Amino acid sequence: MSLLDRPREVMRRDRVFDFMMPDPLEAGRVDTRHGPILYLEDVTVSFDGFRALDALTLYIDVGELRCIIGPNGAGKSTMMDVITGRIRPDQGQAWLGQRLDLLRMQETDISRAGIGRKFQKPTVFPEHRVVENLELAMAGPRGVWSTLRQHLDGESRDRIDSVLTEIGLQSAGHSRAGQLSHGQKQWLEIGMLLMQNPQVLLVDEPVAGMTHQEMDRTGELLQRLAGRHSVVVVEHDMDFVRSIARTVTVLHQGSVLAEGSMDAVQADPRVVEVYLGE
Ligand SMILES: Nc1ncnc2c1ncn2[C@@H]1O[C@H](COP(=O)(O)OP(=O)(O)OP(=O)(O)O)[C@@H](O)[C@H]1O
């Protein structure tokens, strides 16, 4: 055993004991000094014997924009469910950075540790103004009414302003969320996630039902967010994926069929076959 082998042995992710598991609230930045921010390794999920995920292995790097595609039933939502703690796999590992074992954390702790998920259907509070929706997203456990009654400190107001600008809704800040267009609601929901400053953003079919113009703006937004956040986008719209994609992962029957640039995966005969077969 070399001198370095011993510290390496101690650093192994599968050797993180309970007393080493940091409190996600106190963890601050996730430990990514030794590699990716998100690790899924050999993750298997079965429903009544059917394998929705089949030894899925996937790594997401800090600040990357990853698009996940795959035919219906490939396991994309189930993968998101494992990452966010909604589903516990039968086997495998899921880690946020080096030290947070997602399979030992509750959904709320996973979210507080820095994984935000946007579902396909926007779930904004329609009766509240856009800025109030952002305030509520920042509130966490303080609760809705106490948050709306409280005066915001300068820092929170600045934060809301910067997120409003980021999502392109500066001029709609005082509109009721219910009056926004479908695209604007989607951006507001992304803004609500940003209020919690997640390190990983999971975004499920962000452009479904959008106009072309809204799609372009969504693409620009997601590309801007990458770098500061790791962004994982599940999307069926291939033109949209092509417009934003750097690395694309193709899921099929619960595992990775291909991974690489959009050109490379589209030229892969296995990928062509899977999509033609749909
Ligand atoms: N709760 C469940 N019970 C039984 N089977 C399930 C359950 N959830 C998912 N499945 C099955 O697991 C497989 C993977 O589903 P999943 O929703 O993850 O696929 P997907 O890639 O997200 O599909 P889509 O693109 O249609 O949303 C599908 O065959 C689905 O029917």
78: CA distance to ligand 1 center in Å?
6
What was the ipTM of the complex prediction? Answer: 0.96
**Residue 79 belongs to what H/E stretch?**
helix 76-83
**Residue 248 belongs to what H/E stretch?**
strand 247-252
Domain boundary among 176, 196, 216: 196
Read off φ and ψ for residue 46, nearest 5 degrees: -115, 140
Read off φ and ψ for residue 115, nearest 5 degrees: -115, 115
- C-alpha span between 262 and 19 (Å, rounded): 43
pLDDT at 98: 87
User: Residue with the nearest Cα to atom 17 of ligand 1?
Assistant: 77
46 shares its domain with 81: yes
165 shares its domain with 204: no
Model confidence over 14-32: pLDDT tens digits?
555 555 555 555 545 677 7
69: CA distance to ligand 1 center in Å?
14
Task: Enter the pTM of the model.
Answer: 0.86
131 shares its domain with 240: no
Indicate the residue type of 87: I
Q: Pairing relation of β-strands 200-204 and 115-118? A: parallel
Q: Give the number of C-alpha atoms closer than 13 A to the C-alpha of residue 15, restricted to the C-beta side.
A: 7
Q: Is residue 219 part of a domain?
A: yes
Q: Is residue 14 part of a domain?
A: no
152 shares its domain with 264: no
131 shares its domain with 168: yes
**Number of domains present in the structure of the chain:** 2
Is residue 125 pLDDT above 70, yes or no?
yes
89: CA distance to ligand 1 center in Å?
14
Q: What is the CATH number of the domain that holds 67?
A: 3.40.50.300
Ligand 1 atom, smallest distance to 45 CA: 12
48 shares its domain with 93: yes
100 shares its domain with 58: yes
Question: 210: left (phi > 0), else alpha (psi -120 to 50), else beta?
Answer: beta
pLDDT at 148: 53
Q: Is residue 17 part of a domain?
A: no
- C-alpha span between 189 and 182 (Å, rounded): 11
106 shares its domain with 64: yes
* CA distances in angstroms from 229 to 44, 90, 105, 139, 166, listed in the order given: 27, 29, 21, 21, 13
Ligand 1 atom, smallest distance to 236 CA: 25
Cβ distance 40 to 79 under 8 Å? Answer: yes
Model confidence over 224-271: pLDDT tens digits?
999 999 999 999 999 999 999 899 999 999 999 999 999 999 999 999
Q: Is residue 10 part of a domain?
A: no
136 shares its domain with 187: yes
234: CA distance to ligand 1 center in Å?
14
Range of the domain at 250: 30-113+198-277
Stretch among 1-5, 33-37, 43-47, 205-209 having the lowest mean pLDDT: 1-5
Domain boundary among 131, 161, 196: 196
Q: Which of 54, 78, 81 to mutate to test the pocket of ligand 1 (most atoms within 8 A of CB)?
A: 78
Model confidence over 136-166: pLDDT tens digits?
888 654 445 555 556 667 778 889 999 999 9
205 shares its domain with 173: no
**72 CB under 6 A from ligand 1?**
yes
Q: Is residue 9 part of a domain?
A: no
